[in-house]
Chain A
């Protein structure tokens, strides 16, 4: 293992790999990435694999629009031979009451102003877009044909391969155990395989971002929360878009492989690192998804698992330098939508670390916003 680096990135998920690649590309010098398990072993590899541009805040719309653009030709951009399984079959967001309709229509105004091709569709049109959809109780939906799907393992792999080509050192099975500071500055990162001298750290540890923050004496308001998910046997194409219902608190998409991937958010899920699967989820999920997509009753579930959302109180990530410790950057707290904005996030983090102007305004993601009471709330999260 190297014993000194210009920047140490902690976390081998998609955000860590994207950040490490962009740092090397922008000339940050020697970059090391540390992952305690294998790449994409955490939230990245456990997520629902969707990408959508239909957000309620201008910033999230901008970041996701840019990320979709980058994902559409990622392998060429990174000059690697990895098929990331990018498909654009759309997202259909279902509205079941007036409050949702109003929120969605408000969101559409923001989306349209930014050139995101989303529109309001009637229950009948929804049924044309997704023939297996039950329109019972539905008052309408918003649809964006350019939202879609990507394979998170492959996107991470693409960034990791591109980073290695630029001489980024990636250490898997290497756990960060401490961050050594002196006179308010970082001096080294302590790992299970030795120390790396550095003055700059990027904390991209997802659900463990708070733990990593504490190693540097910083209290980040990010907390881990279990989210469960399951996958069915692969079948012939039945459903194009990702179907999302904030009313049922669920999402469901047929992947290019043919299997259906689906999950629900549990409102009473306690904070914690538990990622065990539960039978309650299995029953709950089946019941709710069959209500919306009845033909799925005939499908076999083959596997269920869980992962951690890295939650922020306002469901918006922290992207930036710490107000307490110089050159301790955080890119975490994505609250369930980190994968889909990871391409642009990596670029923005690299720009910030190198003191360059960022491609998009991201001051609202500043870590100090909680103390100032300037929360940045995204209205459209499952």
Chain B
């Protein structure tokens, strides 16, 4: 990909240019980039942008992509409505 305006994180509208800027500022892990510009914080939790960002970091640092960990996967697996969590076993 060469177009800097390409959207990498679709949930949070983060472009390739923004990610490259973060890497240029010395943020060389997925976790740091996430906290600096919200990549992977949206409803899909980084399923699309995670590997793309890792590959950008690998390219910039000359490391193998296998050596760039993805950001930690946090629960829940998918978005879940608060209402779906109410009641539960207490009201069975």
CA distance A290 to B85 in the complex (A): 10
Residues A305 and B36 in contact, CB atoms below 8 Å apart: no
Nearest CB of A to B90, in Å: 9
Contact of A305 among B38, B42, B43, B74 (CB under 8 A): B74
Nearest CB of A to B54, in Å: 15
Q: Specify which chain B residues have a CB less than 8 angstroms from the CB of A304 in the assembled complex.
A: 74-76
Q: Specify which chain A residues have a CB less than 8 angstroms from the CB of B42 in the assembled complex.
A: 233, 302
Given A38-B29, A233-B43, A303-B41, A153 and B76 touching (CB < 8 A)?
A: no
Residues A290 and B82 in contact, CB atoms below 8 Å apart: yes
A298 within 8 A of B: yes
B62 within 8 A of A: no
Find residues 136-152 in chain A having any chain B CB closer than 8 Å to their own CB. none
CA distance A297 to B85 in the complex (A): 9
Residues B82 and A286 in contact, CB atoms below 8 Å apart: yes
Residues A298 and B82 in contact, CB atoms below 8 Å apart: yes
Q: Specify which chain B residues have a CB less than 8 angstroms from the CB of A40 in the assembled complex.
A: 35
Nearest CB of A to B70, in Å: 15
Q: Specify which chain B residues have a CB less than 8 angstroms from the CB of A153 in the assembled complex.
A: 35-36
B86 within 8 A of A: yes
Which chain B residue lies CB-closest to A164? B26
A282 within 8 A of B: yes
Residues A38 and B45 in contact, CB atoms below 8 Å apart: no
Which chain B residue lies CB-closest to A232? B82
Residues A287 and B86 in contact, CB atoms below 8 Å apart: yes
Residues A301 and B83 in contact, CB atoms below 8 Å apart: no
Residues A296 and B88 in contact, CB atoms below 8 Å apart: no
Which chain A residue lies CB-closest to B76? A301
Q: Specify which chain A residues have a CB less than 8 angstroms from the CB of B75 in the assembled complex.
A: 277, 279, 282, 303-304
Which chain B residue lies CB-closest to A172? B32
Residues B31 and A157 in contact, CB atoms below 8 Å apart: no
CA distance A367 to B45 in the complex (A): 42
Q: Specify which chain B residues have a CB less than 8 angstroms from the CB of A289 in the assembled complex.
A: 82
Nearest CB of A to B84, in Å: 8
A109 within 8 A of B: no
Residues B79 and A233 in contact, CB atoms below 8 Å apart: yes
Which chain B residue lies CB-closest to A40? B35
Q: Specify which chain B residues have a CB less than 8 angstroms from the CB of A296 in the assembled complex.
A: 82
Q: Show 28 residue pairs from A and B whose CB-CB distance is below 8 angstroms, ordered by the A residue.
A: A38-B31, A38-B35, A39-B32, A41-B31, A153-B36, A157-B36, A231-B41, A233-B42, A233-B43, A233-B79, A277-B75, A282-B85, A286-B85, A287-B85, A290-B82, A296-B82, A297-B81, A297-B83, A298-B81, A298-B82, A298-B83, A301-B79, A301-B82, A302-B79, A303-B41, A303-B45, A304-B75, A305-B74
Q: B: which residues have CB within 8 A of A?
A: 29, 31-32, 35-36, 38, 41-43, 45, 74-76, 79-83, 85-88
Q: A: which residues have CB within 8 A of B?
A: 38-41, 45, 153, 157, 231-233, 257, 277, 279, 282-283, 286-287, 289-290, 296-305
